Structure formats: structure tokens, C-alpha cells
């Protein structure tokens, strides 16, 4: 079956790669236009565009896909369905009925739970274990379209956002082929979304500030939910410090929330309830390092407190 693929970042490439390797035919790839990137701010194609060009697949990079663009550039490809993965644009409603089997999205939650931009981060932040992916048909709402398939995924309480995203990408790259096969042989079943809905709004920097008066488990989940560009953070001696990873332990010392103690070269932080060992940090203006090395470099160790 002929299909279009819409995606932009590196995280979408494995799914495109799986589609290319399948029995289906990727007849075109649509991605965001080239943007400034890197230290030199050079104009660069997206990761998806670069991969598609290497595989000799026609590429398109519109500022917006509307009916005119579809008619002029994409309709001639004769695709029956489109797969949308982290494309970065809201599809114009005028094109939603332009393909025989519609525009399909792989969403990293079991819809209707966690509709929105950050389903994995929100699930980890909330301490969820039972999660999954949903393959659904895009309609005019935000992640509200009918479901073609859902698959379970258990979030280990030691996994961070990137690990879960990688796992769900692997799962999605396999299961989207099964869905396409079922569409092709007319055995697919489409069902409306049912159950309690919830939102997974984009996570802002302010959402990631640590409140040390909260329970250790809640703070640990916040730290786990962090991404490369948006880590959990706190203030130390007037400077911002990002907390990349941690582990939860039982109370060993009785200190006020945010106080730091060093035990056997481990950096322990008291919380409202329980304690954490901080593993990796990013001090303001510096690169990521282990927490013990960071503390060793502090000149004034009289008052070690996160605020």
C-alpha cells in the first residue's frame, strides 16, 4: 500500500525506517522546512528529510499543508494513507478527508488519557506504571480521533523519559506495520475513544522546579520526567542547578527539606518525606557531572541547601 510519512525530529526516523523496510511503499516524506541549528546556526534539513533523501524518497517541506498544497504536490503520489509522527504542524482540516484511509498518528499513551504534547513526561511525573501507545485516525480535535489499535507498555520506576520514548518508538515502529497490514487486507476495526479523558499539556520550565517539601517519591518522578532540554531544577547559593538523575532511599538523617549531606561520597537530600541520592547534575554554565564532583568544587560548604 502506498503511503505518505510526516515527521521531523530524529525520534521519528526509526519509524520511517521500519516503514521503508516493510511491504508497503513510502511514496513521499513531508517534514518541517530547514531551520537554523547547532552552534553555528547553519540552515539544516530536519533529521527526517535527511534520512529520506539518503533513501531516495521524494521530500516536501511546506510551511503549511492545506488543500492547495496537497492538490499541487501530494495528490499526484496516489498515497492511500499517511503516517504522522512528531511532525510539528497541526494539519489543516481541509485535507483530513483527502486520503482513502486518512491520516494516522502514533500517540504515546492509551487514549483518551494524556491527550496533548507531553504524554510520556506527564505519565512519569504522575508516577504511572501502566501506559501504552495508540494508533488512531486524526480528526479535527486534539488527539480525539477513532482508534485503530492500542498496545500496553509498563513504565519501570527507574526509567526516565528518554528511555520510555525509545521503547515506545520501537513498539510503534513494529505495530504500525501490523495496522497497515490490517488496513490493506480490510480486517481493521475502528472504534471511537471511550473512557475518562486527561490532558498532557506541554511542560514548561516552571513545571520542572523542585519543591523539596514534597515527598521524595514525587520529586524522584519529576526528575525522571526531565528531558535533555528541560530538566528538573533547583536553586543553590543563588544559581540554578539542574538535577538529571537520582535514587530514593529511606530516611538516614533528620534534616529540613532541601538540606544536603555527604555520606560515603553520596549526595543525600532531605525531602518533605524521605530522602534522595542525587547522581548527576548540571550546574549553571557548566556541563553535566556527577553530584559528588560538583559538591567537591564548592568553596563554601557551611550551608549546603537547595531552595
Give the tens place of pLDDT for each residue, 111-162.
999 999 999 999 999 999 999 999 999 999 999 999 999 999 999 999 999 9
Q: What is the pLDDT of residues 162-212, one digit of tens each?
A: 999 999 999 999 999 999 999 999 999 999 999 999 999 999 999 999 999
pLDDT at 251 over 80: no
Q: Where are the domains of the chain?
A: 2-184, 205-296
Q: What is the mean pLDDT of residues 230-241?
A: 96
CATH superfamily of domain region 2-184: Formyl transferase, N-terminal domain (3.40.50.170)
Q: What is the DSSP letter of 198?
A: -
Q: What is the pLDDT of residues 41-87, one digit of tens each?
A: 788 999 999 999 999 999 999 999 999 999 999 999 999 999 999 99
Q: Are 278 and 291 in contact (CB under 8 A)?
A: yes
Q: Are 52 and 8 in contact (CB under 8 A)?
A: no
pLDDT number for residue 254: 75
pTM for this prediction: 0.93
Dist. CA 74–CA 283, nearest whole Å = 48
Q: What is the DSSP letter of 132?
A: E
CA 67 to each of CA 37, 64, 75: distance values in angstroms, whole numbers, following the listed order: 30, 10, 10
3-class DSSP state for residue 78?
coil
pLDDT at 303 over 90: no
Q: How many CB atoms lie within 10 A of CB 14?
A: 16
Q: Which residue has the higher pLDDT, 250 or 151?
A: 151
Output phi, psi for 209, to 5 deg.
-75, 130
pLDDT at 301 over 70: yes
3-class DSSP state for residue 268?
strand
Sign of the C-alpha dihedral computed for residues 252, 257, 260 and 265 taken in this order: positive
CATH superfamily of domain region 205-296: Formyl transferase, C-terminal domain (3.10.25.10)
pLDDT number for residue 299: 79
CA 217 to each of CA 118, 174, 240: distance values in angstroms, whole numbers, following the listed order: 20, 33, 22
Mean pLDDT (the chain, rounded): 95
3-class DSSP state for residue 57?
coil
pLDDT number for residue 23: 97
pLDDT number for residue 36: 77
Q: How many CB atoms lie within 10 A of CB 256?
A: 10
pLDDT number for residue 252: 67
Dist. CA 257–CA 245, nearest whole Å = 18
pLDDT at 38 over 90: no
Which residues are CB-contacts of 174 (< 8 A; sequence separation ≥ 6)?
18
Q: Calculate ∠ Cα 208-14-185, nearest 5°.
A: 120
Q: What is the pLDDT of residues 3-37, one digit of tens each?
A: 999 999 999 999 999 999 999 999 999 999 998 77
pLDDT at 232 over 90: yes
pLDDT band of residue 40 (cuts 50, 70, 90) is low
Amino acid at each position: 500500500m502506498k503511503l505518505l510519512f510526516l515527521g521531523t525530529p530524529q525520534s521519528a526516523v526509526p519509524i520511517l525506517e521500519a516503514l521503508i523496510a516493510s511491504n508497503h511503499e513510502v511514496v513521499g516524506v513531508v517534514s518541517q522546512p530547514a531551520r537554523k541549528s547547532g552552534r553555528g546556526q547553519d540552515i539544516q534539513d530536519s533529521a527526517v528529510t535527511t534520512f529520506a533523501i539518503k533513501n531516495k524518497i521524494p521530500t516536501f517541506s511546506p510551511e503549511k499543508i492545506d488543500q492547495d498544497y496537497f492538490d499541487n504536490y501530494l495528490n499526484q503520489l496516489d498515497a492511500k494513507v499517511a503516517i504522522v509522527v512528531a511532525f510539528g504542524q497541526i494539519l489543516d482540516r481541509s485535507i483530513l478527508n483527502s486520503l482513502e484511509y486518512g491520516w494516522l498518528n502514533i500517540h504515546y499513551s492509551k487514549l483518551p488519557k494524556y491527550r496533548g504534547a507531553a504524554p510520556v513526561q506527564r505519565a512519569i511525573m504522575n508516577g504511572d506504571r501502566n501506559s501504552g501507545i495508540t494508533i488512531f485516525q486524526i480528526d479535527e480535535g486534539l488527539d480525539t480521533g477513532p482508534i485503530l489499535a492500542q498496545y500496553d507498555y509498563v513504565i519501570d520506576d527507574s526509567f526516565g523519559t528518554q528511555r520510555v520514548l525509545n521503547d515506545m518508538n520501537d513498539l510503534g515502529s513494529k505495530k504500525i506495520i501490523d495496522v497497515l497490514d490490517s488496513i490493506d487486507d480490510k480486517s481493521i476495526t475502528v472504534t471511537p475513544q471511550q473512557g475518562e479523558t486527561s490532558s498532557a499539556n506541554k511542560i514548561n520550565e516552571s513545571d520542572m522546579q523542585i519543591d523539596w517539601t514534597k515527598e521524595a517519591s514525587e520529586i524522584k518522578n519529576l526528575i525522571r520526567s526531565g528531558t535533555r532540554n528541560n530538566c528538573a531544577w533547583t536553586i543553590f547559593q543563588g544559581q540554578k542547578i539542574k538535577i538529571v538523575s537520582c535514587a530514593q532511599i529511606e530516611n538516614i538523617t533528620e534534616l529540613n527539606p532541601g538540606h544536603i549531606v555527604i555520606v560515603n561520597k553520596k549526595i543525600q537530600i532531605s525531602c518533605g518525606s524521605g530522602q534522595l541520592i542525587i547522581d548527576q547534575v548540571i550546574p549553571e554554565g557548566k556541563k553535566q557531572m556527577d553530584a559528588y564532583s560538583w559538591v567537591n568544587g564548592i568553596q563554601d560548604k557551611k550551608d549546603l541547601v537547595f531552595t
